[in-house]
Structure 1
Amino acid sequence: MSPFVAALAHAGSRLSDLVFSEAALTEDLLLVEAGDGGVPSALGIFEGLLRGHGVVLNGDVRVGAKLFAHPAPAGVMAQVDFAVSHPALAKTLVESFAGHGVTWREAVGGAVNKFERGALHPIVEGLFRAAPDQVQRERYEHPDGGFEFVLGAQLNMFTDRPVPGAGPLLDRLLEALRSEPLIRKVHGLRFFIAYLDGRLQTNEVLLDGERWVGGEAVVAGSRAPLAEGRVAVRLFGLLVPVSDQDSRSVGP
């Protein structure tokens, strides 16, 4: 007699008395790690993208990519936090992207694809001067000195309709930024905004990875890019300090 059956007999029960219910996990799943069920290494992909642009990492420059799993109604959802530590940065830079797919490879690949389109090139050009043809650049005058704004591509999500460029909103944000002190380091500026039928649902404006309330006020007072349906816009860029002698200097 098996120990299980013996335990039932001891309790005065029979196998026919068992009632099975839906299985449930009593503890959180372990963190997703490379090699677990075919999960690709987001860090390996990130380092490969940098090598593809001729970027050589050394002891003063460090990169990271941390993968998080999230519940999804179907398939899997992966969030990847891409991090860069560089002497020219005011703070360690962390840009987060999410991807969804049937497999972990698809989900991680979707997150990496968004990162590559929206944030990689400003990072590579702003810090390493290695992607001059894949970013937009403009001079930005600030009370604390001149900067060059190195801007990535606008990411439009949740709609297949054309979405107007976010240039006017960005201009208003940069105007409001003149009231914020900026040290002579490289600063990251990013916003992610989402609307439903013209109503603001998500208002996230980050300066050096921290919530910027003044920027959120600018977004709150702006018009939606589309009056109907669901739409989200994400835009990221680096403010790189410049001097009159070198318009492409990344500062100390």
Structure 2
Amino acid sequence: MARVTVWNEFRHERESDDVAEVYPDGIHAVLAEVFEAAGHEVQTATLDEEPDHGLTEDVLDDTDVLTWWGHAAHDEVRDEVVDRVHERVLDGMGLLVLHSAHYSKIFKRLMGTSCSLKWREAAETERLWTVEPGHPIADGIGEYVELEETEMYGERFDVPQPDSLVFTSWFAGGEVFRSGCCYRRGNGRVFYFRPGHETYPIYYDDDVRRVLRNAVEWAAPDDGPTPEFGNADPIEEIDTSDDRTVH
């Protein structure tokens, strides 16, 4: 069991009837159900409704994996909150970056690039191909997942080469896209997953939900040793009398 915090901008659902029809209680509520059904301890946070966008030090200290969905208000996320999330990822917290959160401050900070891409809204078919079938995030997923109506994201996707590429998408309009990218940043694991536009019911798809559950389990910190940094005492007996240091 992991402690999961589901963060959602929660603007489109309150401002658009089309979005509210698909996600009446917010995208975060649907995602929370996915992780709760898998036995995880889940809390939600949104941009406007809690102090510090719901991402206080106490909340993050109580989080093993943070999921992030944003679109229209990336610039409204305060920099001190981004700093706090960034530090926790480097310390070992997992991060799932979903769909349009490729432009979030935290993802761009972790990638060090613009994270730009091509896009088109035409309700077109997407085939999400499993290109790394042995990866834990692909467990239980077939050779491909077909989504009937999606927003197109196309290459070039301006991100660093992933440590592992689990999924690649093809769209009916002809484009392709790296849709399932794994990274290590410090002690933390980061997974970018492309599907999830707000006007299409993608987060109700069984295969998409399976990927999300797998990703939380992959990104959750394990019980490995905690590295120590800085000046270190020797493990073996050696002569430490050398006084030529400038530190």
TM range (shorter): under 0.3
- TM, length-normalised to structure 1: 0.25
Higher helix share: 2
> TM-score with structure 2 length normalisation?
0.25
Of structures 1 and 2, the one scoring higher in RCO (CA 8 A, sep 6+) is 2
Larger Rg: 1
